[in-house]
Structure 1
Amino acid sequence: MSHNVVVIGMDAGPPNYNAAMNTPNDSTELPPSYNSLFNQLQRAKEESTNPADYALKACGILCGSIIITIIFAISSAIPITMIIIGAIYKDQCTIDHKIPIWLIVSGVFGCLSAIIRTIQNCYSIYKKRQNESYEQGKKSCITSVIELFIFSWFICGNVWVYSAKSSVVTDNQLDPFYCHATCYYFAFWVITVSWIVMALLCCCCCCILVIAGCGAGIASIFSSK
């Protein structure tokens, strides 16, 4: 009886295309994940149990992205300016002395919040690059308290600044309704622009969530075929 033995030596050429495609793959390892923003949103949608849970996770992912981290780092210049202007004109707003105080306090807590959030986002990005799990929606108690105070103080600023809009005087220091133009109008536009930015961010987040949800739905349809 003869046996045909095929010996593959070191000089054997690579397998052809058909042989490579028909070779069974017993490996159960998944390919490395691509940590793009879209993939993270799609993964959050798959892991979420309801739309509210998905919205919470998606907002955490968006806030933890490197773009948002850079924006938070740059935006720290605004609180610093608030501190400076509030300190300079602290005694030049007789219509309501709380307006420059509002600028100073808002600037201090704004800087503190920007520093903490930037550190958290940088740590989150570091964990992602190390392929370690990190819960995006998790917040420390200190961060939550600071954000709650900032929001409450922001509402107080709205009341103090907008209520003085119709009666403020900026050209007569002896007038009891006087407030330095730089101090008042800077506070006024900081509040107004903040509302505009918040509205734009809400619209952008909603658009991203809708696009991500539609993309995940289309991908699931094609994958089921």
Structure 2
Amino acid sequence: MLCCHDAAPPPSYDSVVEQIKQAKKDSDGHVDFVKTCCGILIGSGLFNKKKELGDKEKKLGVGPEQLIINCFVIAWFIAGSVWVYRTYDDWQSSNSTLDNYCNPTLYYFSFWIITISYIGLGLLLVMCLTTCIAMCICGEDE
């Protein structure tokens, strides 16, 4: 079993920057440079979420309680999306005693927050796919 406590501390910021600069000089192209940079960053421990506090190390990663909270938030977002989009044509704001009453400000705020969140996720997905396609195309030219 790999123990994280016995590992050497990650290199300083300056040495990582110097390694990336050297990788840029030595790379055969953009794809090779990205691969080398990923190896440098992963190997340097920049993705290792630990912070030293005196003699103790405190893990800042995702614990089981944070995982449960994240799952709850995702489930709540999905349930809220279903509730808001399901009532798109069926809600009314004139009679507050009816079951399908909703305050218009609340409904439109919820609708647009959820819609903007989905638009943002879609744009992020398109940017990632575009980047992957561009890297594949640039990699074939070399």
Do both proteins adopt the same fold according to a TM-score greater than 0.5, normalized to the shorter chain? yes
Uncovered stretches (5+) of structure 1, i.e. residues with no partner: 1-30, 48-127
Is the contact made by 1:42 and 1:212 (CA closer than 8 Å) also made in structure 2?
no
Out of 20, 40, 62, the position equivalent to 1:33 is: 20
- Structure 1 residues 41 and 207: CA distance shift in structure 2, 3 A: farther
Other structure's SS at 1:202 match: helix
Once superposed, what is the RMSD of the aligned Cα atoms? Answer: 3.7
Q: Deviations over 1:81-131 (max 9, x none)?
A: xxxxxxxxxxxxxxxxxxxxxxxxxxxxxxxxxxxxxxxxxxxxxxx7xx9
Is the contact made by 2:31 and 2:139 (CA closer than 8 Å) also made in structure 1?
no
Highest relative contact order (Cα 8 Å, sep 6+), 1 or 2? 1
1:140 aligns with 2:62: yes
- TM (norm. structure 2) is 0.55
1:173 aligns with 2:96: yes
Q: Deviations over 1:149-180 (max 9, x none)?
A: 22211111122112222221113323332111
Equivalent residue letter for 1:33:
I
Equivalent residue letter for 1:182:
T
- Structure 1 residues 46 and 186: CA distance shift in structure 2, 3 A: closer
Report the identity percentage: 25
Equivalent residue letter for 1:193:
I
- Structure 1 residues 176 and 40: CA distance shift in structure 2, 3 A: farther
Out of 31, 35, 41, the position equivalent to 1:43 is: 35
Structure 2 distance, partners of 1:190, 1:133, is 36
Please say which structure displays the higher CA radius of gyration.
Answer: 1
Structure 2 distance, partners of 1:201, 1:157, is 21
Structure 2 distance, partners of 1:41, 1:151, is 36
Structure 1 distance, partners of 2:66, 2:132, is 25
Equivalent residue letter for 2:69:
I
Out of 193, 204, 210, the position equivalent to 2:127 is: 204
Paired residues in the alignment total: 105
- Structure 1 residues 212 and 45: CA distance shift in structure 2, 3 A: farther
Uncovered stretches (5+) of structure 2, i.e. residues with no partner: 1-17, 25-29, 49-60
- Structure 1 residues 194 and 33: CA distance shift in structure 2, 3 A: same
Equivalent residue letter for 2:116:
V
Per-residue deviation at 1:183? 0.6
Is the contact made by 1:41 and 1:212 (CA closer than 8 Å) also made in structure 2?
no
Structure 1 distance, partners of 2:100, 2:67, is 37
Q: Deviations over 1:63-97 (max 9, x none)?
A: xxxxxxxxxxxxxxxxxxxxxxxxxxxxxxxxxxx
Structure 2 distance, partners of 1:169, 1:180, is 8
Other structure's SS at 1:171 match: coil
> Going by fraction, where is strand more abundant, 1 or 2?
2
- Structure 1 residues 178 and 146: CA distance shift in structure 2, 3 A: same
Other structure's SS at 1:176 match: coil
Instruction: Give 2:73's aligned residue.
Output: 150
- Structure 1 residues 46 and 189: CA distance shift in structure 2, 3 A: closer
